[in-house]
C-alpha cells in the first residue's frame, strides 16, 4: 500500500493537470456552440461539397453539427486524444521510473516480489485514470447542463465520456509493454507522443481510405460518435477487442518483468 500511495502522490498533479485540460477545452467549446449552431446549417451545406474522405477524417461525417450530440461527437474525437496521451504516459512511466531515478536495485531489495510490484503499480495507474474520468465526467456534465440550452441524451454523453477511459486502457497496456522491452527510458514524452500520434494517424488514414481492416489497428476507431449517437450503445466487438489488447499487453508485461535484468546503480 505504501507503494501505491507513493505512486499516487507522484502522479496526482499530472492527473489533475490533464483533467483540467479536458474540462477547460470542453467548457470553452461549449460557449462556442450557440454561435456554431447558428451557422451549422450553412456549414452542413458547405460540407456537402467536400470529399467524403475530408469529412470523415475531421469528424464531420454522419453527424449533424447543428445538434449538440453531433457537435459533441466532433469535440470528443480530440478529447479522447488528450486522454490517450495521459494513459500512455502513465503506462510508460510507472515501471520505468525507478530506472530513470536510479532506484531500481533499492526497490527490488525490499521483501516484495516483482509480481507484487507490477500489481501495485498497475493498481495505482487504474486508480489515477478512473479518478481522472470521474472528475472530468462530473465537471463536463455540469458544464453542459449549465451552458447548453437544448436537451441532450445523457446516455450518449455518458458513452462518449466513457470511451476516453476505454481508449486509455488500450494505451496503458501498450505503455506497460514498451516500458519493459526498452531497457533505459530517459524521457517518456517522445515515446508517449510518438505512439499516440502514430495510432491517431492510422485513424486518419483509415477514415480517408474507408478501409475497415485498419479499424482494428487503432483504438481511435473503436468508439465512433456517429455510431454511439445512432445506436446509443457501443459496437461491442470493439469493446471486447480493446479490453483483450489491454489484458494481453498487461499479461506480457508481467511475464517479461519477472525475468528482466535490473542494473544496479
Mean pLDDT of 15-28: 94
Cα angle at 115 between 110 and 116, to 5 degrees?
A: 55
| Structural domain of 206 | 3-57+64-259
User: Is the pLDDT assigned to residue 137 strictly greater than 90?
Assistant: yes
Radius of gyration of the chain (CA): 20
Mean pLDDT of 223-227: 88
265 occurs within a structural domain: no
pLDDT in tens, 169-216: 999 999 999 999 987 788 899 999 999 999 999 988 887 776 677 888
33 occurs within a structural domain: yes
105 occurs within a structural domain: yes
264 occurs within a structural domain: no
Mean confidence (pLDDT) of the chain: 85
- Number of domains composing the chain: 1
207 occurs within a structural domain: yes
Q: Residue 232 region, left (φ>0) first, then alpha (ψ -120 to 50), else beta? A: left
User: Is the pLDDT assigned to residue 127 strictly greater than 60?
Assistant: yes
Does this model's pTM top 0.75? My answer is yes
114 occurs within a structural domain: yes
Picking from 236, 81, 230, the residue whose alpha carbon sits closest to that of residue 156 is 230
List b or e across 2-39, with b for residues whose CB sees 16 or more CB atoms inside 10 angstroms: ebeeebbeebeeebeebbebbbeebbebbeebeeebee
238 occurs within a structural domain: yes
176 occurs within a structural domain: yes
Amino acid at each position: 500500500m505504501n507503494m501505491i500511495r507513493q505512486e499516487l502522490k507522484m502522479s496526482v498533479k499530472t492527473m489533475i493537470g490533464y483533467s483540467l485540460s479536458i474540462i477547460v477545452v470542453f467548457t470553452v467549446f461549449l460557449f462556442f456552440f450557440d454561435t456554431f449552431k447558428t451557422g451549422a446549417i450553412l456549414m452542413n451545406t458547405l460540407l456537402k461539397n467536400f470529399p467524403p474522405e475530408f469529412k470523415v477524417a475531421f469528424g464531420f461525417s454522419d453527424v449533424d453539427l447543428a445538434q449538440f450530440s453531433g457537435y459533441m461527437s466532433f469535440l470528443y474525437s480530440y478529447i479522447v486524444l488528450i486522454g490517450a496521451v495521459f494513459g500512455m504516459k502513465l503506462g510508460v512511466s510507472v515501471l520505468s521510473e525507478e530506472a530513470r531515478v536510479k532506484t531500481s536495485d533499492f526497490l527490488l531489495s525490499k521483501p516484495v516480489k516483482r509480481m507484487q510490484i507490477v500489481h501495485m503499480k498497475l493498481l495505482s495507474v487504474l486508480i489515477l485514470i478512473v479518478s481522472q474520468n470521474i472528475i472530468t465526467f462530473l465537471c463536463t456534465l455540469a458544464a453542459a447542463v449549465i451552458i447548453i440550452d437544448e436537451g441532450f441524451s445523457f446516455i450518449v454523453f455518458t458513452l462518449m465520456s466513457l470511451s476516453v477511459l476505454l481508449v486509455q486502457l488500450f494505451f496503458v497496456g501498450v505503455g506497460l509493454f514498451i516500458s519493459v522491452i526498452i531497457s533505459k527510458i530517459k524521457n517518456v514524452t517522445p515515446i508517449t507522443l510518438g505512439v499516440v500520434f502514430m495510432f491517431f494517424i492510422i485513424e486518419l488514414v483509415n477514415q480517408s481510405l474507408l478501409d475497415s481492416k485498419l479499424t482494428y489497428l487503432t483504438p481511435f476507431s473503436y468508439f465512433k460518435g456517429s455510431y454511439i449517437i445512432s445506436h446509443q450503445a457501443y459496437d461491442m466487438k470493439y469493446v471486447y477487442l480493446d479490453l483483450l489488447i489491454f489484458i494481453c499487453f498487461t499479461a506480457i508485461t508481467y511475464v517479461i518483468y519477472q525475468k528482466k535484468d535490473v542494473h544496479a546503480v
